[in-house]
Amino acid sequence: MPPNVSAQNLALLLGLSFFFGLAYEDFYARRGLRRPGGVRTFPLLALLGAGLYLVEPAYGLAFVAGLAVLGAWLYAWYRSHVTWERSEAVAATAEESAAPTAEAGGGAGLMGPVCNLLAYLIGPTALREPAWITVSLTVSAVLLLGAREPLHQLARRIPFDEIATFGKFLVLTGIVLPLLPDQPVTSLTEITPHQLWLAVVVVSSLSYGSYLVQRYVSPARGVLLTAVLGGLYSSTATTVVLARRVGEDPGAVGDIQAGIVLATALMYLRVLVVVAVFNLPLARVLAPGLVGLGALGAGLAAACYGRLRRGRSTGAAFAQPRNPLELSAAFIFAVMFVVVSLGSTWAKARFGHAGVYSLAAIVGVTDIDPFVLSLAQGGVQGMAATAMTVAILIAAASNNLLKAAYAVVFAGRRNSLPAFAALVLLAVATVGVAAAMAGIFG
């Protein structure tokens, strides 16, 4: 692509390099750190990079030579800076001063040299590439420069095993997923290996977003926020966690019961989102029923909150949820997905729609996501959208009854009665919507 030399490109080059230099100098000046370059140097570096690129744009030899000279100078500066830091540290240690290097200018690291190299690259980028690329490059550099402390704090808070788990997940997502065949490998189901693993990726990603917010952003922000995030993660697991909390925090019984019902209300919206990713026509059929049931659940949660709230929570910490990106959990989900898909196909072939509905009631007492995704991806041939909607609603109703039982078991009959009644009512309402969809009520 030939360079685009115009007044607009030159203005973009100068404006972005000045903005970058301003943020750079402000960052280092406020911390008292030594630095190479600044608000005047960065525009000059950008102009130098652009000028050398225009001298020989075919191969960029002049630009590369300038980059080598700049890199050599920055390397010499960095070595001098490290030597100065060491001498300051030795002198401060001799004087028994407390933590002197942080105040004396240490800790600049490689950010200064890297920012200078980026300023040099802004020049040819502004002339050669679309404006959004240059703007994105500059803004990203400024944001990363200013986020030094928050990013270091985040790195200290996240244990390495979670980072390693996420790395493995990226390998399975970015390398394994594209290599899986997108054709059925057996006549027993139309689900392909690619669709199978894509379902694992989508469900795990949705759960992982909720998990990160719940664990690292707001680990102790109250029962109701825990219920909201838990409903997006797993309403069944959230019900168990909240029900167990009753014995530890009796002053928050109303909050906890409202949270149990609210997590189930969010479950309906989670199901709708997951279905919409794979089967938008089915999601359109499901939307009125699921949104209505979610609204009913939110109303019942509000009723529990207003009627039963007796005091404030003691603020005791909740048990941390399990990382949904653990590979064992992903493989278990994949196995369940295959089993449910094969079971749905067999039930449809042997007993018709009634067989699928019966299977939906059974899988509801475990995890409904594999069943829902199997239907959404066409794992059962010959089922109309209405019939699949009925099956999904039956599975959700069955799951609500399971959570009602969990509430009684872990919170006790007395402390769980309102939540139990609300979950049973939601299960009955869900069956009613399913029956209406099936045409039983006209």
Tell me which amino acid residue 190 is: E
Do residues 177 and 194 lie in contact, with contact meaning Cβ atoms separated by under 8 Å?
A: yes
pTM of the full structure: 0.63
Apex 111 CA angle, 121 and 78, nearest 5: 100
DSSP 89: H
Q: How far apart are CA 438 and CA 436, in angstroms?
A: 5
What is the rounded CA–CA span in Å between residue 75 and residue 33?
17
The whole-angstrom separation of Cα 166 and Cα 204 is 11
Cα distances from 222 to residues 210, 316, 401, in angstroms, run: 15, 9, 25
Q: Are 342 and 188 contacting, i.e. CB atoms less than 8 angstroms apart?
A: yes
Provide the residue-wise pLDDT of the chain in tens; the chain has 442 residues.
Answer: 556 678 888 899 999 999 999 988 888 777 677 778 778 889 999 999 999 999 888 888 999 999 999 999 988 888 887 777 677 666 666 655 444 444 444 455 678 888 899 999 998 999 888 889 999 999 998 888 877 777 777 777 777 777 777 787 787 778 878 888 877 776 666 677 887 777 777 777 766 766 666 666 655 555 667 677 767 767 887 788 777 776 565 666 777 888 888 888 988 998 898 888 888 888 898 999 999 999 999 898 888 877 655 444 444 445 555 666 656 666 777 777 777 777 877 887 777 878 888 888 888 877 788 888 888 877 676 778 888 889 899 999 998 998 889 888 887 777 778 888 999 999 999 999 988 887 754 4
Whether the Cβ atoms of residue 223 and residue 255 lie closer than 8 Å to each other? yes
Contacts of 140 (CB under 8 A, 6+ apart): none
Amino acid at 256: I
